[in-house]
């Protein structure tokens, strides 16, 4: 919930002018207000519930006794925003969040909040009674920056100490994930075996920390019949093994943030991921190379998600067919019915529907509900699937921006196919060329005068030649 940016309506709760159904409480009603507190993304994989062993187990609010388990930090961040109007910037870059919150809890008891935080006033141009002050705690404050750097340095020292212990540890015992061979002694013997015999490499042993937990995480995925690279599940081990061999998927998914904590490079610099650190190093090595070789580049398809449920597909036609068959929603028919919508109008329409569903509101009648299931049941039972409000409700500039940042459905939209000139120009007036004086223009044009002069010169030359003869 906390993020470094305060987006659009994040700090501008609108007055809910519609009834809330299913017996909602005031707190439920507040949660479905027209506000999105962070950039949304469709889930790509299950978040890891495992955390490094050195982390404490609880997070305590900076202002009150409210506390939550560390794995539920988003709950506390939401509590800080809604109850105390405080936003912590770049939470994911804080190396030790419990220590960070504990420090600022003590400091806020010593001095007022305004001494440390930037104050953001919402609805600054509106009536005074509707204005609210929100507070942003970020590393622009030197004290906050120093605290984040100190926590990062402390975490790096702990990681390097752990890595050194693993390097010198000869009591390591673990079996190969791809064959029955057992390895005892140093961890490097197992990692080198998997790289050499099974073409499976997770990196050099000296670049890895918490190696045993790393291997257990990978083994757990294989035990659950899940591919380590594409993370799809299969019905049996034989099918999974053939898939990973034929598809060359004997590697881990570098985009899965679950693995970041197992690589030392992710602890080196404050605020930088391993991709950023690596890109800086690679940039120095290839500074003089201007031509890039893209011959081995492979595009990985992005799955599109249904407007109403979590159904996904890597191709678009199955998604359109699913929405039509399962939900009775025909985007192509709707586009034609509304007058062959342009590409940008379709973008705004999709983003409008996405946002209404996310906020548990019927996009047809604007009635609010307590859950996603309740609003979908209402849309189906009341026949509102293909019903839209007046265009003034959804054809707004705010819906140019995607509700979900990785919404692949937006990439498949096309301009109207049969709108002709009217579809392409829309309401833009086209002024015809004024040709009423076309004859006069031709007679008085400079080019016409030049042609006449040239013709007269040729005639005179011909007459002179005849006279001489």
Q: Which residue has the higher pLDDT, 180 or 417?
A: 180
Q: Do 361 and 18 touch, CB atoms closer than 8 A?
A: yes
Give per-residue pLDDT as tens, 11-59: 333 333 444 444 444 444 444 445 565 557 666 544 333 344 444 468 8
The Cα–Cα gap between 146 and 139 comes to: 8
* 267 and 179 both lie in a single domain: yes
Mark whether 108 and 179 lie in a shared domain.
no
The DSSP 8-state label assigned to residue 404 in this structure reads B
pLDDT: which is higher, 357 or 13: 357
Q: What does the pLDDT read at residue 414? A: 73
Cα distance between the two ends of the chain: 102
| pLDDT value at residue 100 | 92
Is residue 415 within 8 Å of 343, Cβ to Cβ? Answer: yes
User: Using an 8 Å Cβ cutoff, are 254 and 247 in contact?
Assistant: no
Is 66 or 294 the better-scoring residue by pLDDT? 66
**pLDDT tens per residue, range 183-240:** 988 888 898 898 888 888 888 888 888 988 999 999 999 999 999 999 899 989 889 9
- Which pLDDT score is estimated for 418? 44
Q: Is 49 inside any structural domain?
A: no
Nearest to 353 by CA among 370, 371, 375, 333: 375
Determine, yes or no, domain membership for 452: no
Q: Is residue 433 part of a domain?
A: no
d(CA 114, CA 401): 33
What is the model's pLDDT at position 54? 45
Q: Would you state the torsion angle of the CA atoms of residues 361, 367, 370, 376, taken in this order, to the nearest 10 degrees?
A: -60
What pLDDT score was predicted for residue 225? Answer: 92
Q: Are residues 368 and 329 in the same domain?
A: yes
Could you tell me the sign of the dihedral formed by the alpha carbons of 253, 256, 262, 263, in that order? positive
- Same domain for 175 and 266? yes
Instruction: State the pairing for strand pair 86-88/132-137.
Output: parallel
Q: Is residue 458 part of a domain?
A: no
Average pLDDT score, the chain: 77
pLDDT of residue 227: 92
Four-point Cα dihedral 313, 319, 323, 324, nearest 10: -140
Tell me how many domains the chain contains: 3
Q: Assess if residue 52 is contained within a domain.
A: no
Domain edge (last residue) among 355, 371, 399: 399
Task: Check pLDDT > 50 for residue 140.
Answer: yes
List the structure tokens of 142. Answer: 């030197």
Both 183 and 268 in a single domain?
yes
**Residue 426, in any domain of the structure:** no
Contact indicator for 334, 386 with CB cutoff of 8 Å: yes
Instruction: List the domain range (segments joined by +) for residue 329.
Output: 304-399
Whether 270 and 194 map to the same domain: the answer is: yes
């Amino acid at each position: 919930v906390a993020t470094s940016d305060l987006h659009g309506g994040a700090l501008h709760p609108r007055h809910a002018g519609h009834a809330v159904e299913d017996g909602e409480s005031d707190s439920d009603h507040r949660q479905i207000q027209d506000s999105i507190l962070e950039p949304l993304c469709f889930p790509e994989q299950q978040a890891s519930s495992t955390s490094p062993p050195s982390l404490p187990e609880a997070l305590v609010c900076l202002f009150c006794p409210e506390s939550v388990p560390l794995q539920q930090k988003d709950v506390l961040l939401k509590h800080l925003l809604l109850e105390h109007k405080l936003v912590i910037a770049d939470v994911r870059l804080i190396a030790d969040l419990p220590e960070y919150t504990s420090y600022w809890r003590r400091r806020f008891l010593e001095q007022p909040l305004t001494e440390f935080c930037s104050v953001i006033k919402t609805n600054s141009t509106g009536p005074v009674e509707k204005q609210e002050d929100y507070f942003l705690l970020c590393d622009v404050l030197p004290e906050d920056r120093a605290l984040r750097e100190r926590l990062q340095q402390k975490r790096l020292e702990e990681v390097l100490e752990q890595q050194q212990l693993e390097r010198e540890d000869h009591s390591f015992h673990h079996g190969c994930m791809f064959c029955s061979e057992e390895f005892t002694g140093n961890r490097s013997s197992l990692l080198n075996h998997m790289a050499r015999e099974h073409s499976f490499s997770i990196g050099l042993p000296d670049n890895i920390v918490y190696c045993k937990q790393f291997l257990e995480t990978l083994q757990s995925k294989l035990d659950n019949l899940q591919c380590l690279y594409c993370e799809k599940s299969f019905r049996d081990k034989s099918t999974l093994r053939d898939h990973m061999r034929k598809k060359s998927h004997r590697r881990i998914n570098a985009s899965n943030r679950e693995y970041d904590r197992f690589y030392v490079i992710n602890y080196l610099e404050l605020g930088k991921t391993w991709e950023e650190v690596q890109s800086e190093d690679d940039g120095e090595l290839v500074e003089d190379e201007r031509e890039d070789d893209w011959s081995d580049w492979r595009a990985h398809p992005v799955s599109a998600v249904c407007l109403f449920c979590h159904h996904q597909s890597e191709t678009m036609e199955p998604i359109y067919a699913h929405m039509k068959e399962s939900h009775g929603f025909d985007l192509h028919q709707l586009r034609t019915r509304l007058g062959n919508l342009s590409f940008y109008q379709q973008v705004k329409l999709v983003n409008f529907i996405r946002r209404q569903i996310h906020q548990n509101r019927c996009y047809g009648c604007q009635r609010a509900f307590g859950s996603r299931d309740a609003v979908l049941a209402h849309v189906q039972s009341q026949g509102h699937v293909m019903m839209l409000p007046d265009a003034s409700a959804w054809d707004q500039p705010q819906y140019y921006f995607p509700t979900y940042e990785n919404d692949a459905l937006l990439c498949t939209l096309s301009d109207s196919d049969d709108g002709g000139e009217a579809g392409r120009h829309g309401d833009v007036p086209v002024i015809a060329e004024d040709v009423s004086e076309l004859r006069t223009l031709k007679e008085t044009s400079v080019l016409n005068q030049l042609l006449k002069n040239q013709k007269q010169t040729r005639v005179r030359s011909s007459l002179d030649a005849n006279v001489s003869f």
